[in-house]
Structure 1
Amino acid sequence: MATTLATRQGILTRTTGCLAAILDDVPNQICIQPSTDSSTRYAYVHDKKYELLKLKRNLESASAHVDKALQAYTQAADGLESDTPQFAGILEKVSANSAAAQELLIRAQTSLTEVDIAIEELSMASPTLVEEETPPVQLAPLPIPKFSGKVWEWENFWSIFDYSVHSRNIADIHKMNYLTEALQGEARRAVQQFQVSGSSYMMAIDHLKRKYGNPQLLLNELAGRLEKCHACSRRIEDQRTLYEEVSSIINQMKLKGESIDNILLQKQVLSKFSEPIQRHVLRKKQKQANIWTTSLLLSHVCDFIDTEVEIQRQVDNNKNDGREMKQRKSISPTPKRIANKVKTFICFFCEKTGHSPRNCPEYTTREQRVDHMKRNCLCLNYGEPDHRANQCSKGACKLCNKVGHHPFICRQTTPFHEKEPQSATEKKTPTITKPSKPLPRRATRQNFVSSAVMHNLKDDDTDVNDDIETLTRMKSTDTSTSTKMAFSSEKRKSLIRLHIHWKLFTFFSTQVQIVPSSVKISKNAYI
């Protein structure tokens, strides 16, 4: 048991030694000496606060260890037996050690209190330091507005004049001079009855307040403005401007204590807007008649205007999108047009591009084409390799209306390359141009036929010219009648392109029937 007591005493001695060392350093730690330099003051406060918090934790930890060791030491001393050698001396020593430990614990509690106070002082000093470091904001002096006697402007004038001049600690004579300089028109004439002196300054101020600071005068001014305001047109933009003006007047009347929820005022306000807005508001009023107010009326007006503005914006956007789409289509071709431009034909006879199967230069006869299609197992009806003619769903031949073969191998058609070559006379045919001056309508076709035939056959037969000139003069015998010539479409083209032979022209001449008022050419001559 004596050994246990000695061990407990050693632990108590070590813990009390640590606590005593910390307590000796407390007076130096809690001493606060802030720097005079504002740039380093904030950093000093921050670091000092951190050190004090650390000291507080160390004190609390050391005190707890001493208290625990003291309890163990006293318990070991209480367990000693009375027959222990030197029992009385041991008890005296235990009592002295316990008293020393208790004294250290009391000092530790006192030091903890001092540390808490120092931390609180630093916390209170931190906002002050930040405020001292922030430079004061220097606002520009407000210019004193001019007041000409309009009730509408009095409140603004007086608030600024009171802040800039009236509330300043300067002589009244200077304030009076500032006041006279700020007044114009009717207001200046109202103050001129007072002598410019310090004693008359307050009398001038009271006179101006009675004349222009009366709330009833401002209400009358607001009522007059409400009566005069109106929209320039029925356009939604002008209706919005009217709403903003009316809403501002109504809100100011409400701030001045005027009752705005009466039927006369509501009718006056509603009548200023367009008919669509009035209908919308009246429909809303029927649903909310029990809680109807002027503010609610104005809110419904605002909702209607906002909705119309949004609709107008959407319509304008759609119009702009349509214009942009048309511009893009006009500038750049559509994908469909591009596809048509790059589209190429592949001949299913020779499997080459640049020509259609009808004009294939390698397979020019029907027999060659049929043999090629059978040899390559192509559909005789469409030219595809994936089915037979009896399975084809593309329909019949467009020439003979029979099923089972393609129009390019039909017996009723002639291949493109079997056309007869043009004669030397046909190659020399000049291009017929229109006359520079427009001819009379009745003579145009007749002169065109005669001039064309004369130009192309003048080297072959001179007799043709005489007959055509005779035919041309037939029209001049009667200028009041019209010459009608009926030509078959194919024969008319052949007449110009293939230069009708002299025998054909002779046959044409025999078919002309001359009547007293017109020249008629029988259609049967070309059929």
Structure 2
Amino acid sequence: MSLQFAKARITKTRTSVENIIDSTKVLLEPLQTPETGQEATISLERRLTFVRQRLRRLNLAKRNLEEATEKLEAAFKELDGDTQRKEEESFNEYGGGATDEIIRIEELVGDLAEMEILVLEELQNRRNQEEQTEQPSRQLQRRSEQPQTGYPPLPNLQIPSFSGKTWEWENFWQLFRHNIHDQPISNIAKFNYLLKAVSGEIKETMTRFQISETGYEEAITWLQSRFGREEVIVEQLYAKLETST
């Protein structure tokens, strides 16, 4: 690839990146949701979708710009010494400009990730409010329809926290499954209980799953595959014993 072609590619890619960055700023504006529950939930879910789509687009733009920069460097290295000296200033200008754009993308990705967490937290709060509002009517309906066989209302349970220690997983899961997972409540409510139970890096990972019926199932499947394997439990138990001696 010639140096001129590599420069043209840098220019084209930077223009595309700048357009993406400019159109992303609106997604970082403070959350303003309608007061009514359903409208607020729809608004938050729409914002979450846009944020996640833009994160993917920015990461793709970053890769494209990095590839264009690599092509520029490769083309410059192919030049002879005299030509390199003539093109050095221009090369540094194009390369430096591309690096600045990559830094801007990384900063914007960080801001969007924070916004994603804010939206997820607000969605969780809305879901909790909806559950609290709907729970009394659901309990009455359940009692009237199934007076003999209906399940008792779910109490305010104290669930042991789980921070990612594999040897604590089995005990945590047995309690969580009995008290929450097997109860006749929606997966969204179960997800809310799960988010309250986990902490640290595990909580951050759980917030990446969509707060929905299927999102809860995907989160549980991930936890079981990550912490439920016997060989991993044994390995970490040995490590724990070695550090305690």
TM-score, normalization: structure 2?
0.51
Aligned positions of 1:65-84 closer than 5 A: 65-84=64-83
Greater gyration radius? 1
- The question of 1:49 aligning with 2:48 is answered yes
Q: Report SS of the residue matched to 2:101.
A: helix
Aligned mates of 1:60, 1:36 — CA distance in 2:
34
Residue 127 of structure 1: how far off its partner (Å): 2.2
TM-aligned CA deviation for residue 130 of structure 1 = 1.8
* Residue in structure 2 matched with residue 443 of structure 1 by the alignment: none
**Deviation at residue 137 of structure 1 after TM alignment:** 2.6
| Gapped regions of structure 2 (runs ≥ 5) | 141-245
Of 112, 116, 121, 1:119 maps to: 116
Give the deviation of 1:60 after TM superposition: 0.3
Code of the aligned partner of 1:56:
L
Q: Distance in 2 between matches of 1:91 and 1:68?
A: 20
Partner residue of 2:26? 28
- Name the residue aligned to 2:92: 95
**1:375-394 mapped onto 2 (5 Å cutoff):** none
Render the CA deviation track for 1:100-146: whole Å, top value 9, x for unaligned.
10000011011111111111111122121022234263899xxxxxx
State the aligned residue count. 136
Counterpart CA distance in 2 for 1:94 and 1:53 is 34
Q: Distance in 2 between matches of 1:96 and 1:15?
A: 15
Aligned equivalents of 2:3, 2:90: Cα separation in 1 = 11
1:260-307 deviations in Å (ceiling 9; x for gaps): xxxxxxxxxxxxxxxxxxxxxxxxxxxxxxxxxxxxxxxxxxxxxxxx
Please list the CA deviations of residues 74-122 of structure 1 after superposition, one character each: whole Å capped at 9, or x if unmatched. Answer: 11112211233xx544210110111010000011011111111111111
Residues in 1 aligned to 2:80 and 2:107: alpha-carbon distance in whole angstroms: 37
Structure of greater relative contact order (alpha carbons < 8 Å, 6+ residues apart): 2
Find the counterpart in structure 1 of residue 157 from structure 2. none
* Residue from 12, 15, 30 that aligns with 2:13: 15
The alpha-carbon deviation at position 18 of structure 1 amounts to: 1.0
Q: Deviations over 1:378-429 (max 9, x none)?
A: xxxxxxxxxxxxxxxxxxxxxxxxxxxxxxxxxxxxxxxxxxxxxxxxxxxx
Please name the residue that 2:105 is paired with.
Answer: 108
1:30-429 pair list within 5 angstroms: 30-31=28-29, 32-84=31-83, 87-134=84-131, 135=133, 137=136
Alpha-carbon RMSD across the aligned residues, in angstroms, is: 2.1
The offset of 1:21, in angstroms, is 1.2
For residues 82 and 69 of structure 2, the distance between their equivalents in structure 1, rounded to whole angstroms, comes to 24
Percent of pairs with identical residues: 14
Segments of 5+ residues of structure 1 without an aligned counterpart are: 141-527
Report the CA distance between 1:25 and its aligned residue. Answer: 2.1
Deviation, structure 1 residue 7: 0.8
SS of the residue aligned with 2:71? Answer: helix
Identify, as 1 or 2, the structure richer in helix: 2
1:459-485 deviation per Cα after TM superposition (whole angstroms, max 9, x unaligned): xxxxxxxxxxxxxxxxxxxxxxxxxxx
Whole-Å separation in 2 of the counterparts to 1:83 and 1:73: 17
Partner SS for 1:137: helix
Match of 1:33, SS state, is: coil
SS at match of 2:81: coil
SS in 1 for 2:58: helix
Structure-1 separation of matches of 2:120 and 2:38: 18
**1:69, 1:76 → 2: CA distance?**
11
Deviation of the 1:43 alpha carbon: 0.4
Q: Over residues 451-507 of structure 1, what are the superposed CA-to-partner deviations in whole Å (9 max), with x where a residue is unaligned?
A: xxxxxxxxxxxxxxxxxxxxxxxxxxxxxxxxxxxxxxxxxxxxxxxxxxxxxxxxx
